Amino acid sequence: MSENIQQKIEELRAELHQHNYNYYILDEATISDFEFDLKLKELQELEKAYPEFYDPNSPTLRIGGEITKNFPTIQHQFRMYSLDNSYDFDDLEDWEKRIIKTIDEPVEFVAELKYDGASISILYENGKLKQAVTRGDGFQGDEITANVKTISDIPLTLKGNFPHQFFMRGEIYLTRKNFDKINLRREEEGLDLFMNPRNTASGSLKMQDSGEVSKRKLSAVLYQFISSEIPAETHWELLQNARKWGFNVSEQARLCKNLDEIKDFINYWDQHRHELPFEIDGIVLKVNSIQQQSKLGFTAKSPRWAMAYKFKAEKVETQLRSVTYQVGRTGAITPVANLKPVLLAGTIVKRASLHNEDIIKKLGLHEHDFVYVEKGGEIIPKIVGINLEKRNPENKEIQYITHCPECGTELVRTEDQAIHFCPNENGCKPQIIGRIQHFVSRKAMDIEGLGGGTIDLLFHNNIISNYADLYNLKKEEIIGLEKWLENDNSGIKFNNELQVVLSKAIFALSKSWGNLTVKEAEDLSNEIKCIDKIADIKVSSDNKKLVKFQKHILEAKKNVVYSDFNSIDNYVSLNYILQLKFPKYFCIKTDNLFDDKSSILNSLNYIDEILKINDFRNDKHFEAFIASISDRSRVGIKEKSAEIIIKSIEKSKEISFDKVLFAIGIKHVGETVAKKLAIHFQNINNLINASIPEIASVEDIGDKIAESIVDFFSKEKNQEILGRLQIAGLQFTLNSELEPVSNLLNNMTFLFTGSLTKFTRDKAQKLVEENGGRNLSAVSKNLNYLIAGENAGSKVKKAEDIGTVNIITEEEFLNLINL
């Protein structure tokens, strides 16, 4: 009986794998979606009833459901190099000349689209997907196998004659269609919209619930075979083989005989890239011959046999709506341009960073200017110019703020810096929350469950005011806490009046006055621009929804004078909308529930202020209405989340001293500096009592960092917080892992180059530190040993030119430390 069940399960798995291959790789569906779902459901039920026949690569895993709390760090067996970039054909011609000079024989190239997504490395063993790891820093990445298995483009089992073990490299991305679907769902749920497909795809890969990843409908393209043994003579042949094995390989890739064919390929896709269902930001070019690739080798960062041609950034014109200012955890002020939404390189752009006052002055920016916007590297929007012909001469020049937008403290700017700072570090909300976020982050104290929203929630409810307060939290104290999070995408406020997007306001009001769709609400808002013009539109009698909406809103307007409120095109005052919808609560002209209703209306900086009033809480429609008109979401802490937070806080007491030192947020003290300080001073008291010259004498520290450290420890508030952290039990003494295990390499410096086979680069550098040596980042006269791995490049030549550097093998390095 069990043999028959097992056979049935295996047959279903094989059939479903084949259907996936037919649909996603061959684009030739041989079964309807309904029939496929029936077979998948049948397999699910059999696997549930007979768990002894579990298969880690079953097609049912596409649905997800596995929860991953932590993503372990995995060393790449083969480094994931980055590519050199070129921006014009002169660069490509120089690249081709260097290649021909090195190998002195004819060269073919493979041209491929440069997908805009997240890089991935997938290990296959015996035709089965074994492990999937993000690019990370190229040397190591995060294992995300469960999430990658949900992506239908990626085969779980291979077909045909494939090697025993190899890696496939590729890109995970979101199609424009699926990205739009995700944002439509989020809009309907009252959540913030994602900014672009690339970041959304990357973020999706790190979600803890693979079931949620599955719902995102990610796509993948595989473009590089990696192994110690290559079963082909050319990259093009490897791509064709990969397609036969079941991989989704780009259909647009092209084999080019010369540079002219490459230019034709580039020119075509520069013109037609927006016709693709996904985003690209350039073209990748690779030498086709594997033997020639081997001869060309690698530089310290990139393969010499590959090049990325980046398309020039697109530029569009739009109008400046306002300039607002963000406060970082160090108090640094960043000005942001809020723009009239515009389509740029496939995504809607609403904001652009202005960086600092000098940039604003250099641009000569005026209020409501028409500006030219580019995406730096096709990702970050920036203002690159102003259309002076459209400038209204009455518009004033943008004047940089003099006081903090959050706490009102006068800003300071030192002569040697371009950035303004808010000095109120202990009373300015964004600085406080930013420091706590840094403290709990993965590379610092690694405390789970405390994202920005939850920290803001705890701060808002006066539960925490600094990171030492975390160690006093009790589970029963935080369960059930709630708050409306303000995510004011408009960035606009007038006289304490929150501004909401007009289309959202129309959509929310129509739920009781016509029930428009999101699209209909958007179309209407684009037509009327401001809600006061609702009477001006001509509505045909057959459009019953719009007729009903217009009738009711005109009736509601009898209670309210639009001109009394501050609104601009495509935005509308929250106060005005509330008076339209809830006149018995908010219309000052009528009898009301409050002694001073106008003071309540003028204080609506946060939704919470009106939600605290019982009369609103008793109205079951009120909170739902608030959610639908605003770019806000409600957060809360449930019992399970509270348990995770408290347990993780307790576990953080085991985090090593160097990470604690990094976590407390001393200006200019990053991970590397914190580790060097921990090794040198051994414990926090030694560091606190050290002078500026003593600290500056530590390798790679210097006066600037030393001054920052002494300044941090001199402040009474920081002393008090550190004292509480010590009482809580955090590690303020060096643990044995950081202490040198020998002094065999004392006073010696090392640098590793090329592909290492005996150990990873991180492991090699750790061995140097454990034995008292120092790692350098570049070849210089101060370098004692250069360890050259396979395909070592220019560093060896530079070391030979210096003449005093010892160039040794990995084996010789291990002999130095008696391994």
Which residues are known binding-site members? Answer: 33-37, 82-83, 112, 135, 171, 286, 310, 404, 407, 422, 428
* For helices 502-510 and 544-556, angle between their N-to-C axes, nearest 10 degrees: 100
DSSP state, 411?
P
Residue 433: both structure tokens together: 């929350």
Judge contact between 328 and 336, C-beta under 8 A. Answer: no
Which amino acid is located at 704 in the chain? K
CB neighbourhood size of 35 (10 A): 11
Partner residues linked to 352 by β-bridges? 337
Instruction: Give the angle subtended at the CA of 61 by the CAs of 55 and 62, to the nearest 5°.
Output: 145
Reported for 43-49, long-range contacts at CB under 8 A and 24+ positions apart, including other chains, are 43/9, 43/12, 43/13, 43/16, 46/5, 46/8, 46/9, 46/12, 47/9
Q: DSSP per residue over 200-267, as a string?
A: HHHHHTT-SBHHHHHHT--EEEEEEEE-SS-SSSBHHHHHHHHHHHT----TT-EEESSHHHHHHHHH
Residue 594: both structure tokens together: 């409050």
Candidates 212, 213, 209, 183; CA nearest to 197 is 183
CA dihedral angle for residue 500, residue 504, residue 510, residue 516, rounded to 10 degrees: 160
Cα 197 to Cα 183: distance, rounded to the nearest angstrom: 10
Partner residues linked to 74 by β-bridges? 141
Residue 461: both structure tokens together: 């409810």
10 Å CB burial of residue 237 (0-12, 13-18, 19+) is middle
Q: b or e along 202-220 (b: 16 or more beta carbons within 10 Å of the residue's beta carbon)?
A: bebbebeebeebbbbbbbb
Q: Which residues contact 5 (CB under 8 A, 6 or more apart)?
A: 46, 50, 53
The annotation places the binding site for NAD(+) at 33-37, 82-83, 112, 135, 171, 286, 310
Helix (H, G, I), strand (E, B) or coil at 300: coil
Out of 8, 39, 41, 114, the active site residue is: 114
Candidates 777, 757, 755; CA nearest to 765 is 777
β-strands 749-753, 333-344: how paired?
Answer: unpaired
Helix (H, G, I), strand (E, B) or coil at 388: helix
Reported for 536-545, long-range contacts at CB under 8 A and 24+ positions apart, including other chains, are 545/510, 545/514, 545/515, 545/516, 545/520
Partner residues linked to 353 by β-bridges? 336
Partner residues linked to 144 by β-bridges? none
Specify the DSSP element, H or E, that contains 35. Answer: helix 33-49
Q: b or e along 562-580 (b: 16 or more beta carbons within 10 Å of the residue's beta carbon)?
A: beebbbbebbbbbbbbbbb
Phi-psi region of 754 (alpha: psi -120 to 50; beta: other; left: phi over 0): left
Q: DSSP per residue over 424-471, as a string?
A: -TTT-HHHHHHHHHHHHSTTTT--TT--HHHHHHHHHTTS-SSGGGGG
114 flagged as catalytic: yes
Residues annotated as part of the active site: 114
